[in-house]
Amino acid sequence: MLKPGPVTAVGTMSGTSLDGVDAAVIDTDGRRILGFGAHGYRAYTPAEQAVLRAALGCWPGDMGVAAATDIIEAAHAEVLRDLPGDIIGFHGQTLAHDPTGRGTHQAGDGARLARALGRPVVWDFRSADVRMGGQGAPLAPFFHFAAAQWAGLDAPVAFLNLGGVGNLTWADPRAAGPEVEGAILAFDTGPANAPLNDLMLARRGVSHDAGGALAATGRVVEGALELFLDEGYFLKIPPKSLDRNDFSVMLDLVRELPDADAAATMTAMAAAAVLQGMQYCPAPPVAVYACGGGRHNPVMMAMISAALDCAVVPVEEIGLNGDMLEAQAFAYLAVRVAMGLPTSCPATTGVRALVGGGIVSTP
């Protein structure tokens, strides 16, 4: 366990978009953000992405998992060697997520990483939450609450992560802490970039729709959008979470459409999922702060903004780094785990009680 006081930590995130590993340094006492430090990025090569993609949906021991794990650990070690930090928050790579069934699987062994880097590593953040009846996701909300306080916000706001899967954190920074009743609500909104990226790879051989350029030239097919919104997930009351492949139906709904129309429709689906989720906010947020790759897609951002009465802007508007926010979150959560503080609560994952999830491995 860490002693109370300021700690320099470095966290990592390798998201469901499979583009690479983000790593970022923060200073924190486990409650407040005291400062932000250096950050780094290690892209996965196309060959590495193919191995990781083949392992999606797989569980420990399944074919392909060992090869994927080797890539994940090596990439993380490479980017972490150049960054300072007394402790490392290692999220690993989510390959499968079934919280009400088999559990959740983040590939990567933090004990091996601790030995390789000679520093303590906190890892396996989600399993304890799932064992206690939670969804195991999303886990960044406690950090989002701290970020809102760091930014000096004084009214309810929402943080919207437009990664492979979309997730929303509603936070009232006037509360004493994220675990206080009414301070926070979080859940996965639905698919965001992952299905669209899959479409672009299959149809155009590129990793994503850069700048929403293809979607901007297409039309949204309302019939496909309506069928998408008929999915039962949107009727579930939060907290709730998704696996990357839970909405594979999206590709089926646009299968017969031209490329531009398919991209426009799938972008509209991601935006519509966010808008469906906004209805669950305990009070209207004064602003929505977007992070993740989707904030670089002006078509997706415009679709979300057009339907809301508040500003929808990148988190850079309040001095945060939208590319590194999740990596910073796991640096923050690592310190909380090592200090014995909770990392999730009933309002973020649906867990039965406050839980601090994670294994601490020392070199």
Q: In the block, which residue shows the tokens 């089926």?
A: 252
Angstrom distance (rounded) from CA 89 to CA 96? 20
Is the dihedral angle over the CA atoms 338, 150, 343, 182 positive or is it negative? Answer: positive
Domains 7-138+322-361 and 152-318 share a fold: yes
- The per-residue pLDDT for 42 is 98
Q: What b/e readout covers 335-348, taking b as 16+ CB neighbours within 10 angstroms? A: bbbbbebbbbbbbb
- For residue range 40-74, what is the model confidence (pLDDT) as tens digits? 999 999 999 999 999 999 999 999 999 999 999 99
Residue 323 pLDDT: 93
Average pLDDT of 190-203? 94
Phi/psi zone of residue 222: left (φ > 0), alpha (ψ -120 to 50 degrees), beta? alpha
Q: What is the average pLDDT across 6-20?
A: 93
Side-chain-facing half-sphere of 197: CA atoms under 13 Å: 22
Checking if the pLDDT of 243 tops 90, the result is no
* Domain-wise residue ranges, the chain: 7-138+322-361, 152-318
Q: What CATH fold (topology level) applies to the domain 7-138+322-361?
A: Nucleotidyltransferase; domain 5 (3.30.420)
Domain 152-318 is of which CATH architecture? 2-Layer Sandwich (3.30)
Handedness of CA 213, 216, 218, 220 (dihedral sign): positive
pLDDT digits (tens, 9 = 90+) for 95-104: 999 998 999 9
Supply 176's token pair. 């004493």
Question: What is the C-alpha separation between 247 and 228, in angstroms, rounded?
Answer: 9
